[in-house]
Amino acid sequence: MGADCTAGEGKLRTPTVAKRRTAPLGGARPAGVSSGAAVMIPEPPMTFPRALAGRLGPLVLLLALAGCAEPREELPVNTRLGGDFTLTDHNGGAFRLADQRGRVVLMFFGYTHCPDICPATLARVSQVYRNLRDAGDADRVQPLFITFDPARDTPEHLREYVPWFKANVIGLTGGEAEIRAVAEQYGVVFLKSGEGEPEYDFTHSDYVYLLDQQGRVRKLYPSDFNIDEVTDDVQSLL
């Protein structure tokens, strides 16, 4: 099926997924830096999320279970991650994951003030959705975007944001505690940087979650996942 499992999807993946960044995004990453790589002088990060370090132990273990299936083999069920939840959708209504039974769900956590990874990932998820729609499977697939920035990502704001991606994405928000609880269920870590400043942003995990028709976690992808691989995986669950 041509699924490339080498980019961070190692069978028994080690805690590191750093290599995944070598996968070209949309195949368009400019060819390597010419000889004599540029000398980068990074400032210290705006904030060091030291607090994260302590919380990552369990996450790393969980990720080890979210390995890559052999082509055409059934995707393993990840029993350590996931679970039902209720949040508020971008129309202001209650959204319960359990109501998606019968649909394969692609779920991503992020925030709309993020200009780089979040819109790029949503665009890729949307492309997967459109591929599936073209294959006649639109009714059985549901992309979800869960914000961890409810202060700015209100239902009203999400209502203006998610339709732009033209992929029937449901934007989800809620109370801070509610969102934190969902993030914990799924092993998502996020930390606000620049707390109290108007231009705060987040350090966050950026995995995309594949849930089967029973709402069980079947696979995690790095945010620069291969679109065909995910499309194939979704179809294997339909």
Least distance in Å: CB of 159 to other proteins?
9
Q: 191: which 2 tokens? A: 């930390």
Least distance in Å: CB of 86 to other proteins?
25
Least distance in Å: CB of 118 to other proteins?
9
Under the criterion CB under 5 A, does residue 104 sit at the interface with Cu ion? no
Least distance in Å: CB of 191 to other proteins?
8
* List 59, 66, 107, 114, residue binding Cu ion (CB under 5 A): 114
Cβ closer to Cu ion: 118 or 234? 118
Q: How far is CA 146 from CA 16, 20, 43, 109, 181, in A?
A: 24, 23, 31, 5, 12
Q: Which stretch binds other proteins (CB under 8 A): 39-47, 70-78, 79-87, 132-140?
A: 39-47
Residue located via tokens 């109370």: 175
29: Cβ contacts below 8 Å, ≥ 6 apart: none
Under the criterion CB under 8 A, does residue 213 sit at the interface with other proteins? no
Under the criterion CB under 8 A, does residue 30 sit at the interface with other proteins? yes
Under the criterion CB under 5 A, does residue 118 sit at the interface with Cu ion? yes
CB-facing half-sphere around the CA of 27: CA atoms within 13 A: 3
CA dihedral sign, ordered 3, 67, 183, 99 = positive
Cβ atoms within 10 Å, residue 104: 23
Under the criterion CB under 8 A, does residue 230 sit at the interface with other proteins? no
Cβ closer to other proteins: 105 or 114? 114
β-strand partners of 170: 144
Which residues are near Cu ion by CB under 5 A?
114, 117-118
